[in-house]
Amino acid sequence: IKNIAVLTSGGDAPGMNAGIRAVIRTGIFHGRNMFGVQQGYRGLIENNIIPMNARSVSNILHMGGTILKTARCLEFKTDEGMETAYRNLQANDIDALVVIGGDGTFTGAKRFSEKFEDIKVIGIPGTIDNDLYGSDFTLGYDTAINTVIEAIDKIRDTADSHDRLFFIEVMGRDSGCIALRSGIASGAEAILLPEKFTSVEDLIAKLESGASTKKSSSIVIVAEGHKHGGAYDIAKQVEERFDYYDTKVTILGHLQRGGSPSSFDRILGSRLGYAAVNALINGETRKMVGLRGNEIKLTSLEDALNTHTFKLEDDLLEMAQVLSI
């Protein structure tokens, strides 16, 4: 491996900058020429590829977002798009790529490296959704949970003062990871997850039980990917049959993607970026670096994308029920 480029693609996630910094500095430490690609795969196609040095990544560790910018690029799904990207990499004499992103990013990376085998590719899981196999935690997930609980704590203050029931929708396209952990950490009365069906009857029974034991407020977290309705929809169904509380809805939205990364995400981004470059130097390709237990492990992009395990911990699911009575 001679020259390595790094890019961020898909939804941004806090900790991506820590990952970029670690990739650039580890590559420079090993004597490689390093490049940053702006706006993900779009930058590859548009030849927006810039040389980077150790100082290009100074003072970014604490910053949310991604200094390289990101995009969701449809053109990279086409053969023409991929060929243009390949020609631009060749023109810059780049033979290795580190891609930081989620499943869309890895799907593109896998196809690209199958088509052009002389470009070695390693992925870093960067998404607040935590929906990839092969890493217990993805970059940005921990910070997003912290952001969500900070918001819910504030909502709890006003909910409690007014004796209100709040439905709070949190992100997670197909994943209830943010919902489950933020629900536990904020003492939510109920958590509605895409992975697990909760009937409106059961939800109402839970809220009634809380009301009968004098709960002055209640918080219901609804994961964005919940299959049986979003927060507004569920709130309406509950309100029609249970009017003990005044009901309100808050959609937290994109604020969950911003903010300074937690220490966990800064350290995770650093470890994964460092490991990604070492993996390339050791001749690895088409793999993802991830955290399993407290160790950095490699998983094939194929497995990361196609292994669909239930990522919600059983003990957390059970505990959330018990502690919210």
Q: Should residue 171 be labelled a site residue for ligand F6P when binding is judged by CB under 6 A?
A: yes
Residues that contact ligand F6P, how many (by CB under 6 A): 11
**Choice from 8, 39, 88, 127 touching ligand F6P (CB under 6 A):** 127
CA–CA distance, 321 with 49 (Å, rounded to integer): 50
| Residue 126 touching ligand F6P (CB under 6 A) | no
Nearer to ligand F6P by C-beta: 279 or 301?
301
Nearest-CA neighbor of 112 among 87, 77, 143, 141? 77
Q: What whole-number distance in Å separates Cα of residue 281 and Cα of residue 179?
A: 38
Residue 169 sits in the site that holds ligand F6P (CB under 6 A) = no
Question: 259: how many CB neighbours lie within 10 A of its CB?
Answer: 17
Q: Enumerate residues 85-104 that contact ligand F6P by CB under 6 A.
A: 102
Contact pick of 162, 173, 196, 311 for ligand F6P (by CB under 6 A): 173
| Catalytic residue check, 315 | no
Q: Which residues contact 206 (CB under 8 A, 6 or more apart)?
A: 189, 190, 324
Smaller CB separation from ligand F6P, 195 or 224: 224
What is the spatial distance between Cα 102 and Cα 175, in angstroms, rounded to a whole number? 12
Q: Per the residue annotation, which of 129, 131, 142, 265 is the catalytic one?
A: 129
Q: Please tell me whether 111 is known to bind a ligand.
A: no
The span from the first CA to the last CA of the chain, in angstroms, equals 57
Residues of span 236-295 touching ligand F6P by CB under 6 A = 257
Using the minimum distance from each CB to ligand F6P, give the nearer residue, 95 or 174: 174
The C-alpha atoms of residue 193 and residue 317 are separated, in whole angstroms, by 10
Each residue of 153-177: b (16+ CB within 10 Å) or e?
Answer: eebbeebeeeebbbbbbbbbeebbb
Q: Determine whether the annotation assigns residue 23 to a binding site.
A: yes
- Active-site residues, by number, are 129
Q: Residues within the annotated binding site for Mg(2+)? A: 103
Which parts are annotated binding residues for substrate? 127-129, 164, 171-173, 224, 248, 254-257
**Interface residues toward ligand F6P, by CB under 6 A:** 11, 72, 102, 127-129, 171-173, 224, 257
